[in-house]
Amino acid sequence: MDVRIVSGYLPGAIGRITELHGTYYNRHWGFGLYFERWVARGMADFLGRFDARHDGLWIAVDGERIVGGIAADGGETPAEGAHLHWFIVDDACRGRGVGRRLFETAEAFCRTRFHRAFLWTFAGLDPARRLYESNGFRLAREQDGDQWGITVREQLFERTYGNPPPV
């Protein structure tokens, strides 16, 4: 497998990344329509206001097929830092370093532009948590949440950098 990481939008990215989220989180966690709709709407809104000065999107592509992605949203809440969103890798690519390459690419972008990067996830996604922690992210907060139709232990991970926050 020769997966490449592409920066920026590709046709089909919103649909494919939404599909990856919808199928994975339904199969493994029981999330349904509300979650899939939330991913699609959020990505569409993000790309509709995308500004390369403070936003990033990276897509993993195997041949012509999108097999993963991640976004850094620095425009919605610049004083809070960059919000990492929609990190997903196709099941067929798991364990092959594709997720690490995606995450490290997004984290490097954040490191040069922001004072902080953060992401929301939930307990039980242990390989992802190990990846976040190996890249300097630390658990900052936990709370129970049921917004996806089942109760999960939501977790906020963050990393701070030496850059000053925007004025």
Is 51 within a domain?
yes
Whether 46 maps to a domain, the answer reads yes
Give residue-wise pLDDT tens across range 23-48: 999 999 999 999 999 999 999 999 99
In a domain, 29, yes or no: yes
CATH number for the domain harbouring residue 34: 3.40.630.30
pLDDT at 65: 95
pLDDT at 1 over 80: no
pTM of the model: 0.92
Q: What is the pLDDT of residues 91-125, one digit of tens each?
A: 999 889 999 999 999 999 999 999 999 999 988 89
Would 157 be classed as within a structural domain?
Answer: no
Quote the number of domains for the chain.
Answer: 1
Distance CA 143, CA 158 (A): 15
Residue 124 lies in a domain: no
Say if 28 falls within a structural domain.
yes
Q: Would you say 139 and 107 are in contact if contact means Cβ atoms under 8 Å apart?
A: no
Q: CA-to-CA distance for 67 and 64, rounded, in angstroms? A: 9
In a domain, 110, yes or no: yes
Segment 129-154, tens digit of pLDDT:
999 999 999 999 998 888 777 778 99
Please give the Cα distance from 118 to 128 (Å, whole number): 14
Q: Which range of residues forms the domain containing residue 89? A: 3-115
Residue 159 lies in a domain: no
Contact 114, 163 (CB under 8 A): yes
Identify the pLDDT of residue 166: 65
